[in-house]
Amino acid sequence: MVLWCLLISLVYGAPSAASAAPTRKGGIEWVFIDGAKEPWLLPEWLVWQNVLAGIYTIRSHHLEGSPFDSLPVTAAERKRIESAATWYNQHQDACTERQKREVEMLRAAKRPQADLDDGQRKVILDCREQVLDRVDRFLGELSGEGRAALLAYVNARKSGMWMRVAKSELDFYKRPR
């Protein structure tokens, strides 16, 4: 099974004990990454997934007065960003289903655990790449000012993100970028 655990804090940030130093718990060596201290260690796919999920939550729950609402972009640009967030929500559901189907198919074929892990990783990487491709496309559709404002918003969100990942999965966690 893929040994990685993704923990994102949208509101409270990282616990004070979190650091990039590996720790051992239950036989697994964990690496903690605190976006407030080391935002450069957060992979791009994770940052965008977090931001798009947050924007989707803001809009789907009709939360007013969020920092996203004060983003200095045109109404059309805001709609593009919101559309990307809606797409991400649907994409995430589809990716979860793809991963389940892949595992079920491999289990039905009585494949070894390593094949199940590889199958999961392929789906996960493909889904991450699709998110980054979508982000690249919609960033290209924004004005220079809109793009700069959104990227500043995204960078400001990093300080509230943190991760715990098994050291054995660290290389995979960083992929594709």
Distance CA 177, CA 175 (A): 5
Over the stretch 110-157, which tens digit does the pLDDT of each residue have?
999 999 999 999 999 999 999 999 999 999 999 999 999 999 999 999
One-letter amino acid for residue 78 of the chain: R
Indicate whether 21 pLDDT > 90.
no
Pick the closest to residue 134 from 173, 87, 97 (CA basis). Answer: 87
Q: What is the pLDDT of residue 177?
A: 86
Residues in the chain, total: 177
Residue 150 CA from chain centroid, whole number:
16
Instruction: Report how far residue 161's alpha carbon sits from residue 13's, in angstroms, rounded to the nearest whole number.
Output: 6
pTM for this predicted structure:
0.82
| Residues 45-54: tens digit of each pLDDT | 999 999 999 9
Rounded percentage of the chain residues whose pLDDT exceeds 70: 85
